[in-house]
Amino acid sequence: MSMSRRSMLTAPTVLAGSALLAGPALAQGAPQAGAAPPQAPGFYRFKLGDYTVTVINDGIARRDNPAQGFVRNATPEQVQAALRAEFLPTTHFDNTYNFTVLQTGRETILFDTGTGGLLAPTAGAMWANMQAAGIDPAQVDRIIFTHFHGDHVSGLVSRDGQARFPKAELLVPEGEWAFWRSERAAEAPRNMVANRFAPYENRVRQIKSDADLGAGIVGIPTHGHSPGHTSYGIQSGNATVMVLGDVTNHPVFNLANPGWHIIFDMDAQAAEATRRRLFDRAATDGTPIIGYHWGFPAVGRVRKQGDGYAVVPINWSMGV
């Protein structure tokens, strides 16, 4: 074949989705103007016992030069090698956002809210993707939070500070609530959090990180990434799934290397201990996991591989 070795080697960066960074380019892939979306809507749905779970993709944010400064305790060469082993570019990293919607038949429950379009021009696809999936923000009954970092809570409000989920009750881990309202939190993120929760003031309920929330939902304490970080298990019949939150970022970093401390882990030692404990169990149990920063559809299981873990993605099913 006529393809040169050089052209093969340059190919990986071409598929990295750079067109997403240029707004108008989103439409370029459509074969006929107005006839079809350039990309399939970013939701993925599966049955969980009697429940329906939908993963909603909210787009990405790009970070330049991920080998510099993103992992505190690995050298740039180590990070570059890890990226290359996954055929990822070393010049930039596209961090993906995916949150979870649970429909029990009685309630519609969100786990986290995405960026809401407030954080990066390349994120905020959640509104279109929720609409495509038939999920109306006005019908959301509860929103359960893993933690309060901006990419998890910003979907709560519009740019002018109005509540996006007019009837939702918010369930927040008490350790997270306490921290982000205290002066232990730096001023800018503290103000961000206050802004996001402001229009919900009378609808916030604090929960313990190991709480049984009913409807088969239980908290799993996973502190470290943030002071009150909490994952959740959902069970219906014999079926279970774990909503992970940010126990790991993209698997290439601190799932493949659970000892790596990324800059977003607020207590790096606790975050590492949490990771190792949680994934040791998940690798044995085969629990399906939804990873907030895993590649969409972001559902997979974890197995031991080398000194760390790897994600085994589920087989996409057209059925639900």
User: Per rule CB under 8 A, is residue 233 in the interface with its own copies?
Assistant: yes
Q: What is the largest CA-CA distance in the chain?
A: 66
State which of positions 50-79 bind its own copies (CB under 8 A): 52, 57, 59-60
User: Per rule CB under 8 A, is residue 119 in the interface with its own copies?
Assistant: no
As measured in angstroms, the least distance from the Cβ of 220 to its own copies is: 5
State which of positions 81-100 bind its own copies (CB under 8 A): 85-88, 94, 96
| Site map 125..154 versus its own copies, x via CB under 8 A | x------xxxx-------------------
Q: Select from 80, 100, 108, 146 the one that contacts its own copies (CB under 8 A).
A: 108
User: Count of residues binding its own copies (CB under 8 A)?
Assistant: 89
Q: Select from 18, 65, 78, 195 the one that contacts its own copies (CB under 8 A).
A: 18
As measured in angstroms, the least distance from the Cβ of 239 to its own copies is: 4
| Adjacent-strand bridge partners of 56 | 43, 99
User: Per rule CB under 8 A, is residue 208 in the interface with its own copies?
Assistant: no
Which of 101, 130, 103, 98 lies closest to 115, judged by CA? 98
Q: Select from 220, 243, 247, 268 the one that contacts its own copies (CB under 8 A).
A: 220
Q: Which amino acid would we find at residue 89?
A: P
Please state, in angstroms and rounded to a whole number, the distance separating the CA atoms of residues 200 and 308.
40
Closer to its own copies by CB, 204 or 218: give it. 218
As measured in angstroms, the least distance from the Cβ of 287 to its own copies is: 5
Closer to its own copies by CB, 118 or 220: give it. 220
As measured in angstroms, the least distance from the Cβ of 31 to its own copies is: 5
Determine if residue 49 is left, alpha or beta; phi over 0 gives left, psi from -120 to 50 gives alpha, anything else beta: left
Q: Select from 78, 195, 206, 235 the one that contacts its own copies (CB under 8 A).
A: 235
User: Per rule CB under 8 A, is residue 202 in the interface with its own copies?
Assistant: no
Contacts 24+ apart (CB under 8 A), 6-15: 12/87, 12/88, 12/89, 13/89, 13/91
| Site map 293..312 versus its own copies, x via CB under 8 A | --xxx-x-x-x--------x
Binding window for its own copies (CB under 8 A); candidates: 7-15, 153-161, 167-175, 184-192: 7-15
Please state, in angstroms and rounded to a whole number, the distance separating the CA atoms of residues 72 and 74.
6
User: Per rule CB under 8 A, is residue 215 in the interface with its own copies?
Assistant: no
Closer to its own copies by CB, 153 or 299: give it. 299
Q: Select from 212, 259, 263, 277 the one that contacts its own copies (CB under 8 A).
A: 212
As measured in angstroms, the least distance from the Cβ of 256 to its own copies is: 12
User: Per rule CB under 8 A, is residue 317 in the interface with its own copies?
Assistant: yes
Closer to its own copies by CB, 209 or 226: give it. 209
